[in-house]
Structure 1
């Protein structure tokens, strides 16, 4: 029997994860069955269960993969000395993560923002998924904290605000933008970039002071 290459195994795993992501974004986790996933990816039960034991494992794998990519993207940007300003850094990471899944669509619209909303709601009842999400966000917060310290040391940002406060705020900005895309439709990343740039331009000094 011919040996299956690692490239083939990786491609099959990718096929299953992508199909599951589209199903979850379309109907939510509870309304999606493994039969729905099998139909979406056009594979047998044996082929899918070789990689994942069920919906819970699929959800965990999708969430973990996205959070790892976000963290790694911020780490890469943060290696610059100093790092790019927040408007450039956040928008470039957003484009990278979003673009890597742009081929996933539901009713002609990007599936990724809708999937994020589904993940949030699922964490309210799924303690295992909540733990994965918490660990992933902690990693992103840690990276952002280091970026803020680099800003402060370079004199690019005021130093009297704890780095973690800034990190939490920037994560909230990105998640809020994704939520808006899910609820109100796609918006170009320029909206996020320009909005951050405008906020960064606000001066502490009052007009006329």
Structure 2
């Protein structure tokens, strides 16, 4: 048989991830089985296990989809000159989260699964760590631009707070169905710089 191309493999993986998201949105993670994903995707169970070892690995791929959009947004802002302020990167991080990740509480379901399953938790923590590193690279460039002493250390310490702000917003948006990025960024500004004029 001819070997499947990398492009075709990527398409098939995406098809399976799409099916997983659809099932999770419809019936929740706990009630979603690999058989459900197989039926939704139109692929055999054997084909799916050729791409993913099991449900946890597939769930991680769902989480990675959101990370990829975040990472590109951060990288793009890091390359700009002058480097834009943190409020803009917060807008980008929030604005780039796919709507599908919020509908049906997809991200919340991923994080809840990570609390209960050690292997899944380790994988999700790798995702968080990767995002912290990329946000840290942006913050380092920003701190260099504004003349902050020891910009690398400042960035390392500040990155988790910035990523946690995005995670808090996503929890609220998932639960309330409201996704007003501008209002959230303004509220963060009011907390960190209460004397600044409203824009």
TM-score over 0.5 for the pair:
yes
Q: CA deviation at 1:18?
A: 1.2
Give the direction of change, closer, same or farther, for the CA distance of 1:2–1:165 in structure 2 (3 Å limit): closer
Give the direction of change, closer, same or farther, for the CA distance of 1:148–1:202 in structure 2 (3 Å limit): farther
Q: CA deviation at 1:45?
A: 1.7
- Picking from 163, 176, 196, the partner of 2:168 is 176
Q: Partners of 1:57 and 1:168 in 2: how far apart?
A: 25
- Counterpart contact for 2:105–2:174, Cα < 8 Å: yes
Determine whether 1:129 maps to 2:141: no
- Which residue matches 1:77? 77
- Counterpart contact for 2:69–2:96, Cα < 8 Å: no
Determine whether 1:114 maps to 2:131: no
- Which residue matches 1:207? none
Q: Partners of 1:170 and 1:92 in 2: how far apart?
A: 12
Q: CA deviation at 1:151?
A: 2.8
- Picking from 111, 123, 130, the partner of 1:139 is 130
- Counterpart contact for 1:71–1:143, Cα < 8 Å: yes
Moved more, 12-21 or 186-195: 186-195
Determine whether 1:149 maps to 2:129: no
Which protein is richer in helix relative to its size? Answer: 2
Give the direction of change, closer, same or farther, for the CA distance of 1:32–1:154 in structure 2 (3 Å limit): same
| TM, length-normalised to structure 2 | 0.79
Q: What CA deviation, in whole Å up to 9, does each residue of 1:25-77 have, x standing for no partner? A: 44333321112212222322233222122212211222234334423431332
SS at match of 2:178: coil
- Which residue matches 1:7? 7
List alignment gaps of at least 5 residues for structure 1.
205-209
Give the direction of change, closer, same or farther, for the CA distance of 1:153–1:166 in structure 2 (3 Å limit): same
Q: CA deviation at 1:145?
A: 2.6
Q: Partners of 1:36 and 1:137 in 2: how far apart?
A: 28
List alignment gaps of at least 5 residues for structure 2.
none
SS at match of 1:73: helix
Determine whether 1:186 maps to 2:186: no
- Counterpart contact for 1:74–1:143, Cα < 8 Å: yes
- Which residue matches 1:50? 50
